[in-house]
């Protein structure tokens, strides 16, 4: 949810600066970083060691490092004033992010409701 909230702010900033000369749009990278943490792929292409059976020697717990990162795109230019914001792409990304955020909130809400139900049902 945090990544989607940050992405919302970044997209809003891009849209607000659509007519600002020399403005360079930013994006939020998170999903690839999260996938790397979950599936264990290192940036160098090697896989992390994973304990697959309880009888295997315990592994050191690795810290979770997937945090949303704001990245500025300095490599493109859309117009003569060197601004690279495409309003159509930003609006589509905004809608996609809103759907993603709503889905995450719904999933989290269902999880909390299930926990609450398990706690209050007294095992019945």
Per residue, the 3-state secondary structure of 71-84, as one string, reads EECCCCCCCCCCCC
Write down the pLDDT at residue 88: 96
Domain locations in the chain as residue ranges: 2-120
Q: Walk along the chain (124 residues) and give the pLDDT tens digit of each residue.
A: 999 999 999 999 999 999 999 999 999 999 888 887 777 655 555 556 667 777 777 766 556 678 899 999 998 888 899 999 999 999 999 999 999 999 999 999 999 999 999 888 875 6
Write down the pLDDT at residue 15: 96
Write down the pLDDT at residue 4: 94
With residues binned 3-state (H G I as helix, E B as strand, rest as coil), the percentages for the chain, rounded to 5, are 45, 10, 45
> What's this model's pTM, rounded to 2 decimal places?
0.73
Phi, psi of 41 (to 5 degrees): -85, 125
Q: How far is CA 102 from CA 66, 94, 109, 117, 124, in A?
A: 21, 12, 10, 22, 32
Write down the pLDDT at residue 64: 67
| Residue 35 CA neighbour count, 13 Å, CB half | 5
Write down the pLDDT at residue 94: 97
Q: What is the radius of gyration, based on Cα positions, of the chain?
A: 21
Write down the pLDDT at residue 123: 59
Write down the pLDDT at residue 77: 85
Write down the pLDDT at residue 53: 77
Please give the Cα distance from 88 to 27 (Å, whole number). 15
Write down the pLDDT at residue 37: 77
Write down the pLDDT at residue 89: 95
């Amino acid at each position: 949810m945090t990544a989607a909230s940050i992405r919302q702010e970044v997209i809003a900033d891009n849209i607000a600066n659509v007519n600002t000369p020399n403005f360079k749009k930013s994006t939020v990278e998170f999903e690839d970083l999260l996938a790397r943490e979950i599936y264990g792929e290192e940036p160098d292409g090697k896989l992390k060691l994973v304990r697959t059976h309880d009888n295997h020697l315990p592994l050191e717990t690795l810290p979770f490092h997937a945090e949303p990162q704001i990245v500025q795109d300095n490599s493109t230019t859309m117009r003569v004033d060197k601004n690279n914001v495409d309003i159509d792409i930003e609006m589509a990304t905004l809608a996609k992010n809103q759907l993603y955020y709503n889905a995450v909130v719904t999933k989290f809400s269902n999880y909390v409701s299930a926990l609450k139900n398990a706690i209050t049902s007294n095992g019945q």
